[in-house]
Structure 1
Amino acid sequence: MSLNSESSVTKETQIQHDPGVDDSLKPRTEISRTVGPFPYMFMWIGDGVNLGNMTLGASLVVAGIATLNIFQTFAAAIIAIGIISSVFALNDRLGYRTGIPYVVQLRMSFGMKGSVISSLLRGIPAIVWYGFQSWIGGTALNEIAKILTGGAFDNVAICFVVLQVVQIGLSLYGFHAIKWVESLTSIVIMLALVYVFGVLLKSHSAVVAQKWVHAKGSWGLPFFGFIMMFMGNYAAIFLSAADYSRELKSGISNVKRGLLYFLPILVAYGFVLCIGAMLACATGISNPVKAFAIVVDNSYITVFVSAFIIMGAVATNMVANIIPPTYVITLLTKLKYKVAVTITGVLALGSFPWVLVQDSSAKGLGTFILIYSAFLGPIVSILLIEYYILRRQKVDVADLYKEDGQFAGYNPAAVLAMLIGAGAAFLKVELAWIIGVVVAGIVYLFLMKFAFKDSKFKKGTIFER
C-alpha cells in the first residue's frame, strides 16, 4: 500500500500485523480520528504554557543579568518557532497520511532492530521531562498544602508521588483524555498567567527593565545557542510528530498543519518565556514556583496560581511526555498500552528531576536539553531525507509491520549516520541540534548511495539497483 497524497489517510485495516503488536501501534483509520483543528491547537497551547518552558526563560538570567535582552530573546524565539513548525509539518506527514506512530515510522530508515536504539533516544528524555514536570507540579502542590495546613505539612516528595499517581490514572484513558485535559487547562492557565504578568509589570517593572529589557545581551554564540536550546526543547516532540498527527482529522493541508503548530507555540511559548525571565529578574530564583510565591505575596492568589501550575504540568505531560515513551515500551516489551503507560509513570518517579534545576540556576536543564538534542537532530534528519528524497513520499506501510519483511533487522547506514552526526554535534554542544542535522543528513545520503551495496533498505529508494 503506497500512500503519497493528502487524501490517502488509511481507511481500512487489512494490514498483516504481527499478532503480538498492541492495537495502539496499528495504523489509525480515518474513522478513529477524533481530534479537530481547534482542539489540536489548544493541545499545543497547553503543552507550551508549562513550567519547563518558563524555567528555560529563567535560564537567560545568570548572576542577576540576562545573557540576551528582550529583543534578542524574542528574535531567537521567533526564528526557532518558525523552524520548529516547519519540521513539525514535514515530519508529521507520514503519520498523518498513514496513521502509523513514530516507533513504526523509524523502521523505514533504521529497521525493526535499529529502531530500538532510536526509539529509546526519544523515550528516555520524555521520561526525564515527565519526572521534571511532575516535580515542578509537586512543588506547587506542596505550596498549596503548606498554606492550607498553616505550615504543618511541607513535603515536596510526597506531593510529587501523589501527582504522579493522578497522572498515571489520567493517562490510562489514552489520547482522548489528552484532548479534553488540554482544551480546559490551556484556556484557564493562560488567564492565570495574564494575571501574573500584570503583577510583574506593576510591581517589578523597574528591575526587569534594568536586568533584561536594557541588558546588553549578545548577537553571538549566546543568541544562536538559545535558538538551539529552544529547538532542542522541542526536538523530542517534533521527532515523534506522527504520534500526534495520526490522531488529527483528515483533510487538512500541509500549510494549515504548519499553522496549527506555529500559532499556538508562538503564543504560549513566547508568553511563558517572558514571564520566566521576568520572575528570575525580580527574585533571583530560577525555580518559577518558588519565585511565584515571592512575587505574589497573597496566600489566596498563591493557591490559585499554584493550582494552575499543577494543571500546566499535567497538561504538558499528557501531550509530550507520556504517549511517546509508552509506545516505545509497548513496542519493545509487547505489553498492553495500560500496563506500559503505568510503567512509564513509575520510571518518571526515578528520574531525579530536582538535579536539573536548583534555586540559583537552571543551567542543568539547558545542558540536559543540548545533550539529548545532539542525538535527536540526526534522527529527524535521517527520517526526512528517507521520506522526501530517497522514497519520494512513497512507503509500503504493510512492510513496516512484517517481522520478516524488507525492514527486518537494522540499517547500518542509518545507525552510523546517527552516531557520526551526534559525535559531530558534541564538538560544539551549544549548536548541537543544527550540527547533528546537517552532518547526519550528508553522511546518510553518502552511505545509502555508496556503501552497503546489497542492503535491502535500498529497495524502493532512488538508489535501488
Structure 2
Amino acid sequence: MADNLNNNNSRENVDAAAQTDSLRPLGEKDRKMGAFGYMSLWVGDGVNMGNMTLGASVIAAGIATLNIWQTMAAALLAIGIVSTLFTLNDRVGYRNGIPYVSHLKISFGEKGSLISSLLRAVPAVIWYGIQSWIGGTALNEVFKILTNGAFDNVVIGFIILLVVQILLSMKGFHSIKWVESVASVVLMIIIITVFVILLKDHSQAVKDIWVDTKGSWGLPFFGFVMVFLGNYAAIFLSAADYSRELKTGYSDKKRGLLYFIPIIIAYGSVIAVGAMLASATGYTNPALGLPALFDNVYVELFISVFIVFGAIAVNMVANIVTPTYVIQLFTKLDYKIAVIITGLLAMVSFPWLLVQDDNAKGLDMFVLIYSAFLGPMVAILIIEYYFLRKQKIDVDELYKKDGDFSGTNAAAIIAMLIAAALAFIFVDLAWIIGFVSALIIYPLITKYAFKGSKFKKGTIYEGR
C-alpha cells in the first residue's frame, strides 16, 4: 500500500487522505511509541483542569449532588467503559495503521465521513479552547505575580498560550511524546501535593460539603457517569489516531491495560481533587481555586505554571491531532498549516461561556449534547468492524478514489441521526441511549434497506 501511494503515477487513483502524507497508513517501522510513552499520553490527558472542573461540578452552589462514594463509583464505572471501548475501537488503527478519518470511511463512506468527522472535530476544537482558556487564566496569574499586579489580562494570556501550543504541535507526535512524558510525572506530583494540602487544611469543609452529604444513587449518579464518560467519548471515537502510533506486538488485553491503568490513576484522582477543591474554596475554575489554597506567592506561581503546562499537555493529546487531520482531509493542506487553522478556530470558540467561575453546568451540558452524536458513531464503527465485516478490511480499497468506500453510506448516516434523536429524548443519558440504539438500528438498516449498496460488499449482508 505504501509503495503504491508513494508512486506519483498512482496518486490520481487514490482519495484525498492518501494524497496527504500524515493521513496515509503507518507501517511497523513508522511506529515509535512504546508502553511508557503511550501510558504517558493518557496520564497527561487525564491530569488537566477541564477534568478537575468536571469533578468540581459535583458541587453546585455549595451543595454536593453526589457524595464521595457515589462520585468515585461513577468515575470508576465510566473509566471501565472508556477502557473497554478504547480497546475495541483502537484495533482498526493498530492493525492497519490508518487514522480516524480513514476509519470513518469504512462505515460512512468517503463523502459521508466528511460529515461525521466534523462531529468529532468540532467538540475537540471547543475543548481546545476551553483548556486554553483555563490555561490562559493561569498564565495571567503568572504574569500578575511576576509584574506585582501591573499586568492583568486573561485574553492576552489565552492568545499567548494558543500560539505556544500551535508551535509545539507543528512537530506532530514527536513533540507530543516528550511533552506527555514530562507532564505525566510532574502533573501527578502537583495533584498529590494539592490533595495532601486539602486533606490537611480543609478536611472539615470537604467532609461537611462532599463526604457527608446524602447524594443520590439514582438519576444524578447515572447522569454523572454519562458526563464523565462523555468527556472521553470524543477521544476513544478517534482511537485509531493514537493506536496507529503504538509499536506492534501488544495484545488486546495489554492495550486495554495501557488505557485503564493511567486513566484510573489520572482521571480518578483529578475528579476527586476537583470536588475537594470546590468544597474548600467555592471555585469551579481550578485556575482560580488552586492558587487560593496558598498564602505563599512562590507556591501560587508554581501551581499556576503547571496549570498552564497541564492545559498544553491535554490539548496536544486530545484536542489538536484529530481536528488537524480532519482539516487536512477537507483541504489537503500541509499539516503545519492545518495546525494553525485548528488553533485559530479554538481561539474563536468562546470557551469562556462554558467555564464560569460560579457554575460548571454549561460544560456538563456541552458534553451531554455532543455525546448524543458520538455514542451512535462509535457504536456504528464497532458493529461494522466486528459484526458486519468480521475484522477484515481491504486497506488498498479503502484508499482508492472511486473504490468500494467512495460516496456516502446512507445506512450509517440514517442510523446515526435516528439514534441521536432518540438520545435527545433524555439528554442526561444521551451517550448510552445513542450508543445502544445505533447498535440495534445500524445492522437492521444495513440488512433490509438500500438493496445492492456497494457498502454491503465484504460484509455478512453482501448480495442482499
CA distance in 1, matches of 2:244, 2:4: 17
Query: Per-residue deviation at 1:341?
Result: 0.8
Query: In the alignment, does 2:189 pair up with 1:194?
Result: no
Deviations 1:383-427 (A, max 9, x none): 000000000000101111111111111001000000001000000
Residue matched to 2:137: 139
TM superposition score normalised by structure 2 = 0.97
CA distance in 2, matches of 1:56, 1:106: 29
Residue matched to 1:54: 52
Query: Per-residue deviation at 1:13?
Result: 3.9
CA distance in 1, matches of 2:97, 2:357: 43
Give 1:329's aligned amino acid. I
Residue matched to 1:407: 405
Deviations 1:7-40 (A, max 9, x none): xxxxx54456537521000000100100001110
- Give the 3-state SS of the residue equivalent to 2:171 in structure 1: coil
Q: Retained in 2: the 8 A contact 1:417–1:441?
A: no
- Give the 3-state SS of the residue equivalent to 1:105 in structure 2: helix
Residue matched to 2:263: 265
Instruction: Work out which of the residue numbers 285, 300, 303 in structure 1 matches 2:301.
Output: 303
CA distance in 1, matches of 2:446, 2:181: 44
Where do 5+ consecutive residues of structure 2 fail to align? none
Q: Percent identity?
A: 64
Query: Per-residue deviation at 1:297?
Result: 2.1
Instruction: Work out which of the residue numbers 29, 32, 52 in structure 2 matches 1:34.
Output: 32
Residue matched to 1:365: 363
Residue matched to 2:392: 394
Aligned residues, how many? 455
Give 2:254's aligned amino acid. K
Moved more, 177-186 or 191-200: 191-200
Q: Retained in 1: the 8 A contact 2:141–2:304?
A: yes
CA distance in 2, matches of 1:350, 1:276: 27
Query: In the alignment, does 2:132 pair up with 1:124?
Result: no
- Residues 425 and 188 from structure 1, CA distance in 2 versus in 1: closer, same or farther, beyond 3 angstroms? same
Deviations 1:320-350 (A, max 9, x none): 0000000000001111111111100111100
Q: Retained in 2: the 8 A contact 1:13–1:29?
A: no
CA distance in 1, matches of 2:225, 2:443: 26
Residue matched to 1:9: none
Instruction: Work out which of the residue numbers 149, 156, 159 in structure 2 matches 1:158.
Output: 156
Query: Per-residue deviation at 1:293?
Result: 2.0
Moved more, 154-163 or 191-200: 191-200
Moved more, 14-23 or 392-401: 14-23
CA distance in 2, matches of 1:232, 1:193: 23
CA distance in 2, matches of 1:145, 1:236: 33
Instruction: Work out which of the residue numbers 100, 103, 125 in structure 2 matches 1:102.
Output: 100
- Residues 433 and 19 from structure 1, CA distance in 2 versus in 1: closer, same or farther, beyond 3 angstroms? closer
- Superposition pairs of residues 428-439 of structure 1, within 5 angstroms: 428-439=426-437
Instruction: Work out which of the residue numbers 166, 169, 179 in structure 2 matches 1:168.
Output: 166
CA distance in 2, matches of 1:37, 1:379: 28
Q: Retained in 1: the 8 A contact 2:15–2:400?
A: no
Deviations 1:182-235 (A, max 9, x none): 000110111112111111111110010011111101000010011111110000
Residue matched to 1:183: 181
Q: Retained in 1: the 8 A contact 2:291–2:303?
A: no
Instruction: Work out which of the residue numbers 254, 261, 272 in structure 2 matches 1:274.
Output: 272
Where do 5+ consecutive residues of structure 1 fail to align? 2-11
CA distance in 2, matches of 1:210, 1:35: 45
Residue matched to 1:113: 111
CA distance in 2, matches of 1:331, 1:297: 50
Instruction: Work out which of the residue numbers 334, 340, 354 in structure 1 matches 2:338.
Output: 340
- Residues 222 and 19 from structure 1, CA distance in 2 versus in 1: closer, same or farther, beyond 3 angstroms? closer
Query: In the alignment, does 2:49 pair up with 1:87?
Result: no
Q: Retained in 2: the 8 A contact 1:13–1:27?
A: no
CA distance in 1, matches of 2:426, 2:107: 26
Residue matched to 1:6: none
Query: Per-residue deviation at 1:449?
Result: 0.5
Instruction: Work out which of the residue numbers 352, 358, 378 in structure 1 matches 2:376.
Output: 378
- Give the 3-state SS of the residue equivalent to 1:106 in structure 2: helix
Runs (4 or more) in structure 1 with deviation over 6 Å come to: none
Give 1:249's aligned amino acid. K
Q: Retained in 2: the 8 A contact 1:283–1:294?
A: yes
Query: In the alignment, does 2:94 pair up with 1:64?
Result: no
Instruction: Work out which of the residue numbers 316, 319, 324 in structure 2 matches 1:318.
Output: 316
